[in-house]
Amino acid sequence: MGNVKFHHVYKFYKGEPTPSVNDFHLDVVDGEFLVLVGPSGCGKSTTLRMLAGLEDVSKGDIYIDGKFTNFVSPKDRDIAMVFQNYALYPNLSVYDNMALGLQLRKVAKHDVELRVNRAAKMLEISHLLGKKPNQLSGGQKQRVALGRALVREPQAFLMDEPLSNLDAKLRAQTRAEIIKIHSQLQTTFVYVTHDQTEAMTMGTRIVVMKDGRIQQVAPPQQLYDEPHNLFVAGFIGSPQMNFLSGAIVRQEGVYYFETRRLKLRIPETYYHHFKSAGPNLRHVVLGVRPEHVVCDQDAVGIEAYADWQFAVQVEMKEQMGADTYLYGKAGEETLIARADAHTPVRPGETLQVALRMDKVHFFDQESGVSLCYAEERP
Ligand code: ADP
């Protein structure tokens, strides 16, 4: 029921030199939790607002449930939107805020009561129904805003940064609640955030955007494991993936990744990626996640890592409780490594590390495109 189709959608705002949304082409499957993520200004909200009918589509088509929707007014689209700023009516009670949309649609009184009470129970705000918005905390207001969307029982929920006004603890709590609501309702959710952690924890599928363009669409783990380009690789994951510039060279049938100071053997499993890369191999970026920079001295020494070792000068140590992040330098290259929480290493020390070359990524330096994972257009 709640499937949405974006067919080569563009948004040109007056006075903007480039399209704010550029060829957005995607099918949203019924029941999925789709997250649009990317830095501020990349076109997420505009995309969502075009789906809601709050912005005109400049070019391309939007279909909801198979129906061409470009010119359907927002109120006639069977979707509910939740905003960052709650958008509650201050003079109405919580009950009336939640009921208003249904009353305007002439839903029978008994039905309105039933739906409001059911949503309030689900969100654990039944005890607040008689209060006014100014008597509520930020978290409670956002629940009311969610409740108002829930009672509509729409085909799709659209959410634009709904958690960004909440403090860290409430944000985590409400995040879990939204995930729960989605799994109970099994309705389509389209959710906008600039926060990659939020995207990774909530989405069943994530759309990474930059400068109005889709960079990659994939389930969270796949996005993390197989980023299609440098931007996605750097944006998803915290602390972010390490990048080293260098060349891939071949000597006596063996490939190495080489910088001015390092020469690391590349496992054979990568060789097939290099066949079509040609001259691109001279200017590549190696990407390695902090958890794949091995610091444990017992592990570093093992035979399998023999050609993957080098020394790092530790500059800073960030203790996170479960883990420690070590920030170090290998020549002019900066590296972040994830180490054991109780690692005895101190800033100023030199540490032998092994870079897990069986887990690294390679990107073409100029285009940023991955040499390992082919670009797939959705
Ligand atoms: P995001 O949600 O990813 O932060 P937006 O969709 O809000 O990004 O904005 C995308 C781009 O469109 C930005 O460059 C922004 O300045 C521009 N933009 C957004 N709304 C308008 C508007 N009403 N008029 C002109 N430009 C706009």
CATH of domain 240-376: 2.40.50.140
> In the chain, what is the greatest distance between 2 CA atoms, to the nearest angstrom?
81
pLDDT, average across residues 295-315: 90
The per-residue pLDDT for 280 is 66
Categorize the per-residue pLDDT at 192 as very low, low, confident or very high, splitting at 50, 70 and 90: very high
pLDDT, average across residues 303-318: 92
Q: Is there an atom of ligand 1 within 6 Å of 148 CB?
A: no
The per-residue pLDDT for 374 is 67
Task: Name the CA dihedral angle for 52, 55, 58, 63, rounded to a multiple of 10 degrees.
Answer: 10
Question: Domain 4-234 belongs to what topology?
Answer: Rossmann fold (3.40.50)
Q: Is the pLDDT of residue 204 over 50?
A: yes
Task: Give nearest CA residue, ligand 1 atom 1.
Answer: 41
Categorize the per-residue pLDDT at 378 as very low, low, confident or very high, splitting at 50, 70 and 90: very low
Using the atom order of ligand 1, give the atom closest to the CA of residue 161: 2
Q: What's the CA-to-centroid distance between 63 and ligand 1, angstroms?
A: 22
Across the chain, what does the average pLDDT equal? 93
CA nearest neighbour of 138 among 101, 183, 168: 168
Q: Is there an atom of ligand 1 within 6 Å of 229 CB?
A: no
**Among 9, 10, 13, which is best to mutate for testing ligand 1, by the most ligand atoms less than 8 A from CB?**
13
- The C-alpha atoms of residue 252 and residue 291 are separated, in whole angstroms, by 31
Task: Give nearest CA residue, ligand 1 atom 13.
Answer: 41
Q: Label each residue of the chain as H, E or C.
A: CCCEEEEEEEECCCCCCCCCEEEEEEEECCCCEEEEECCCCCCHHHHHHHHHCCCCCCEEEEEECCEECCCCCHHHCCEEEECCCCCCCCCCCHHHHHHHHHHHCCCCHHHHHHHHHHHHHHCCCHHHCCCCHHHCCHHHHHHHHHHHHHHCCCCEEEEECCCCCCCHHHHHHHHHHHHHHHHHHCCEEEEEECCHHHHHHHCCEEEEEECCEEEEEECHHHHHHCCCEHHHHHHCCCCCCEEEEEEEEEECCEEEEECCCCEEECCHHHHHHHCCCHHHHHCEEEEECHHHEECCHHHHCCHHHHHHEEEEEEEEEEECCCEEEEEEEECCEEEEEEEECCCCCCCCCEEEEEECCCCCEEEECCCCEECCCCCCCC
**Among 46, 50, 196, which is best to mutate for testing ligand 1, by the most ligand atoms less than 8 A from CB?**
46
- The C-alpha atoms of residue 82 and residue 119 are separated, in whole angstroms, by 15
Categorize the per-residue pLDDT at 313 as very low, low, confident or very high, splitting at 50, 70 and 90: very high
Q: Is there an atom of ligand 1 within 6 Å of 46 CB?
A: yes
Q: What's the CA-to-centroid distance between 130 and ligand 1, angstroms?
A: 37
Q: Label each residue of 6-36 as H, E or C.
A: EEEEEECCCCCCCCCEEEEEEEECCCCEEEE
Categorize the per-residue pLDDT at 264 as very low, low, confident or very high, splitting at 50, 70 and 90: very high
Using the atom order of ligand 1, give the atom closest to the CA of residue 21: 10
For 235, phi and psi rounded to 5 degrees? Answer: -80, -35
Using the atom order of ligand 1, give the atom closest to the CA of residue 38: 3
Q: What's the CA-to-centroid distance between 333 and ligand 1, angstroms?
A: 36
Q: What's the CA-to-centroid distance between 231 and ligand 1, angstroms?
A: 20
pLDDT in tens, 316-370: 999 999 999 999 999 888 999 999 999 999 999 999 999 999 999 999 999 999 9
Q: Is the pLDDT of residue 174 over 70?
A: yes
Residue ranges, comma separated, of all CATH 2.40.50.140 domains in the chain are 240-376
Q: What's the CA-to-centroid distance between 260 and ligand 1, angstroms?
A: 42
pLDDT, average across residues 52-80: 94
Q: Is there an atom of ligand 1 within 6 Å of 45 CB?
A: yes
Q: What's the CA-to-centroid distance between 78 and ligand 1, angstroms?
A: 25
This prediction's pTM:
0.93
Q: What's the CA-to-centroid distance between 43 and ligand 1, angstroms?
A: 6
Categorize the per-residue pLDDT at 1 as very low, low, confident or very high, splitting at 50, 70 and 90: low
Q: What's the CA-to-centroid distance between 12 and ligand 1, angstroms?
A: 10
pLDDT, average across residues 190-205: 96
Token pair of 264, please?
Answer: 């690391």
Residue 62: which residues within 8 A CB-CB, separation 6 or more? 4, 5, 6, 7, 9, 50, 51, 68, 69, 70
Using the atom order of ligand 1, give the atom closest to the CA of residue 43: 6
Please, are residues 83 and 49 in contact by the beta-carbon 8 Å criterion? no
Q: Is there an atom of ligand 1 within 6 Å of 74 CB?
A: no
Categorize the per-residue pLDDT at 373 as very low, low, confident or very high, splitting at 50, 70 and 90: confident
Categorize the per-residue pLDDT at 300 as very low, low, confident or very high, splitting at 50, 70 and 90: confident
Q: What's the CA-to-centroid distance between 192 and ligand 1, angstroms?
A: 13
pLDDT in tens, 71-116: 999 989 999 999 888 889 999 999 999 999 999 989 999 999 999 9
- The C-alpha atoms of residue 101 and residue 113 are separated, in whole angstroms, by 12
In the block, residue with structure tokens 């649009």: 36
Residue ranges, comma separated, of all CATH 3.40.50.300 domains in the chain are 4-234
Q: Is the pLDDT of residue 375 over 80?
A: no
Q: Is there an atom of ligand 1 within 6 Å of 44 CB?
A: yes
Q: How many residues does the chain have?
A: 378
Token pair of 69, please?
Answer: 């929707």
CA nearest neighbour of 2 among 202, 204, 153: 153
Residue 44: which residues within 8 A CB-CB, separation 6 or more? 36, 37, 38, 160, 192, 193, 194, 209
| AA identity, residue 78 | D
Q: Is there an atom of ligand 1 within 6 Å of 16 CB?
A: yes
The per-residue pLDDT for 69 is 96
